[in-house]
A and B are shown apart, each in its own frame.
Chain A
Amino acid sequence: MSDLVIDREVDRSKMTVSEEKAVEMIDVNKWYGSFHVLRDINMTVHRGERIVICGPSGSGKSTLIRCINRLEEHQAGRIVVLGTELTSDLKNIEKIRRDVGMVFQHFNLFPHLTVLENCTLAPIWVRKVPRKEAEETAMHFLEKVKIPEQADKYPGQLSGGQQQRVAIARALCMQPQLMLFDEPTSALDPEMIKEVLDTMIELAEEGMTMLVVTHEMGFARQVANRVVFMDAGQIVEEADPETFFTSPKSDRTKLFLSQILGH
């Protein structure tokens, strides 16, 4: 829960929010058995938005973003992603997953494949891109996350920060229109957190639509255009970062902020 200072000016020229909706959640509810984990979630994400979701542990943040690419199934309400509604129809689910990238807390790289193979697997088998082209794209994104020299290594031979950057490159190789991040830096040491955050900032600067679950409040301040605070399966407060950090309305938010920022 470090409050790393982001030591450079964030370039906002391409961070434009369009009218078009990327994700729309209407009255979404979900239960684990009898445990009501998501309660009446209503949220709209427009293309180009960078949304940070925060909240205490167990508040349902992971569950919320995992519903967007159907790693979890919602039981009531509607979720429309990139114009396609999520139902039990496998074709729709696969279509959405092709266009939505996800980065996990524990990287989840494929340990039996090299870094390059990790990055080309889905483009080749899902998007049917020719191998040659997929490898060129993969190298392009590996350069972007600044580890092209590791392309032929196996994930087990990389540091945590490098692995997470590979995971980001792997997701980008599918040319997604929306990226989901579930606590991408929580499993990392402080010096590695910075390299991963830098990568994410660059992505934001290029205009990527991003939904980020994180406790990195520095990132939220500098990059997000909206902060969503969740508690007990509900959205408690939603505001631009300036308002959210300086004048939170709800008591729960105030309590959470005081704990996390240590005032």
Chain B
Amino acid sequence: MAETTYVRTEMLPPKPPPPSQTGVVGWMRENLFDGWKNTLLTLVALYVVYALLSAALPWFLHAVWDADSLNECREVIKASWGPEADGACFAVIRDRWHQMLYGFYPQELYWRPNLAFVLMLVALSPVLFPNLPRRMLLFSLVYPFLGYWLLWGGTMWAPVSWALGFVLGYFAFVIVNDRGGTILAAIAAVIVPLLWWFFGAGPFADLVQSLIPISLTDVESRQFGGFMLSVTIGITGIVGSLPLGIILALGRQSNLLMVKSLSVGFIEFIRGVPLITLLFVASTLLNIFMPPGTNFDIILRVVIMVTLFSAAYVAEVVRGGLAALPKGQYEAAAALGLDYWKSMRLVILPQALKIAIPGIVSTFIGLFKDTTLVSIIGLMDPIGLTNAIRANAEWQGIIWELYGFVALVFWIFCFSMSRYSMYLESRLETGHR
């Protein structure tokens, strides 16, 4: 009997884990040549990589950066690489990069979009990176008006008086909330600014401008183009559609029948209509509804349409996040005495949005790429510009270089968004589930 019992007399010390693979050869054997199937796949993959490179590399290596026309490019390539050689003519980008970036924006004013872009990054950074000082958010609030002024110019008092509308709305809310309750206050917070924008803002700006004139040279929306246009539409659309999408998602979950049906109706209508249709509505139909003589800026109209379009998608993605939360989270928040808005803001949305990050970012990437559709209604986005450039005698027939450049810049933007979303997800990871 005694032989069968076992008592450990000494506790085992911890040992280091086994070394992973040793050396390059070991790694290759493990990952590339592990069995005949794997080896075959590796060889096929190697061949594909070789075929791609042997086709594309010479094209890049023979590239010409300095020429005035496509024909000149071709001659340079033939002269240095033989009559059969093919090569890229990046000279077109060197020649026209400013157009690709700024469209027909006046050259001497390029500093304005440049400054606006840098300030935009400053304004976005506290939103994107929560460890930056919270006080920077004040600048983020001011930026939309500042950015508008820098890009379009005109009197500074116009954006200031629009901003004033929001301030008035805020005060209307606070004052009415004290007397008549939240619902009345919300209505006042909408009506007061609208009245101001329609009747007060214009005269006010004119008046102050005549007293203290501060203005920049006007630039018309028609002169906007290139990536500047894409970024303007894209970022405004993104910044506008996130809050709108969240509100729509909450509206869709609401117990109030009116709020719910309005949200559902809006979301389903927008999702059921192609963006192109909305853009055509923006470019042509909207003018019919406007009182004659009003000048409703085309870029503003497009931005509104793009924002509404992606808000509907964001709303559905956020709804998915909301639905993924266990009911217990709502109950725990309620049981602690948090009211609806507080529990949404502090408990529900932070978690739902975290779940929804990949979907939201996908929507935004889609939105950003969809900004190229504005070329169809005659705005000079990068795609529209490539057509314009190819219409020139010097650059007729050039394709890959221009589209490749457009694709590369878009890819850089979209890839950054995708990396950012992964950064955000890992930052918000708190080890649950």
Q: Which residues of A contact B350 (CB under 8 A)?
A: 112
Assess whether A112 is in contact with B433, with CB atoms less than 8 Å apart: no
Assess whether B431 is in contact with A122, with CB atoms less than 8 Å apart: no
Does any Cβ of B come within 8 Å of A3's Cβ? no
Q: Which residues of B contact A110 (CB under 8 A)?
A: 329, 332-333, 347, 351
Does any Cβ of A come within 8 Å of B216's Cβ? no
CA distance A111 to B328 in the complex (A): 12
Assess whether B430 is in contact with A112, with CB atoms less than 8 Å apart: yes
Closest to B333 in A: A110
Q: Given A71-B331, A110-B329: A174 and B336 within 8 A (CB)?
A: yes
Does any Cβ of B come within 8 Å of A97's Cβ? yes
Main SS at interface, chain B: helix
Closest to B350 in A: A112
Assess whether A154 is in contact with B430, with CB atoms less than 8 Å apart: yes
Assess whether A156 is in contact with B336, with CB atoms less than 8 Å apart: no
Assess whether A126 is in contact with B336, with CB atoms less than 8 Å apart: yes
B-contact 0/1 string along A98-124, CB 8 Å cutoff: 101110101011111000000001100
Assess whether A156 is in contact with B334, with CB atoms less than 8 Å apart: no
Q: Which residues of A contact B347 (CB under 8 A)?
A: 110, 121
Assess whether A156 is in contact with B335, with CB atoms less than 8 Å apart: no
Q: Which residues of B contact A71 (CB under 8 A)?
A: 331, 334-335
Does any Cβ of B come within 8 Å of A226's Cβ? no
Does any Cβ of A come within 8 Å of B94's Cβ? no
Q: Which residues of A contact B430 (CB under 8 A)?
A: 111-112, 154-156
Shortest distance between the CB of B385 and any CB in chain A (Å): 44
Assess whether B339 is in contact with A94, with CB atoms less than 8 Å apart: yes
Assess whether B351 is in contact with A111, with CB atoms less than 8 Å apart: yes
Shortest distance between the CB of B355 and any CB in chain A (Å): 11
- Return the contact of B338 from the options A108, A112, A125 (Cβ within 8 A): A125
CA distance A126 to B333 in the complex (A): 11
CA distance A121 to B430 in the complex (A): 17
> Which chain A residues (66-101) contact chain B, with CB distance < 8 Å?
69, 71, 90, 94, 97-98, 100-101
Does any Cβ of A come within 8 Å of B342's Cβ? yes
> Which chain B residues (404-433) contact chain A, with CB distance < 8 Å?
428, 430-433
Closest to B431 in A: A156
- Return the contact of A106 from the options B328, B339, B432 (Cβ within 8 A): B328
Q: Which residues of A contact B332 (CB under 8 A)?
A: 102, 104, 108-110
CA distance A155 to B351 in the complex (A): 14
Assess whether A174 is in contact with B337, with CB atoms less than 8 Å apart: yes
CA distance A206 to B351 in the complex (A): 36
CA distance A156 to B429 in the complex (A): 10
Does any Cβ of B come within 8 Å of A157's Cβ? yes
> Which chain A residues (160-214) contact chain B, with CB distance < 8 Å?
170-171, 174
CA distance A71 to B430 in the complex (A): 28
List 10 contacting pairs A-B, 8 Å CB cutoff, sorted by A: A69-B334, A90-B339, A94-B339, A97-B337, A111-B433, A121-B338, A122-B336, A125-B342, A154-B431, A156-B432
Extra 20 A-B pairs, beta carbons < 8 Å, given A102-B335, A170-B336: A94-B337, A97-B336, A100-B335, A104-B328, A104-B332, A104-B335, A106-B328, A108-B328, A109-B332, A110-B347, A111-B430, A112-B351, A112-B430, A121-B347, A122-B337, A125-B342, A126-B337, A126-B342, A156-B432, A171-B336
**Residue positions of B touching A, CB distance < 8 A:** 326, 328-329, 331-339, 342, 346-347, 350-351, 354, 428, 430-433
**Residue positions of A touching B, CB distance < 8 A:** 69, 71, 90, 94, 97-98, 100-102, 104, 106, 108-112, 121-122, 125-126, 154-157, 170-171, 174
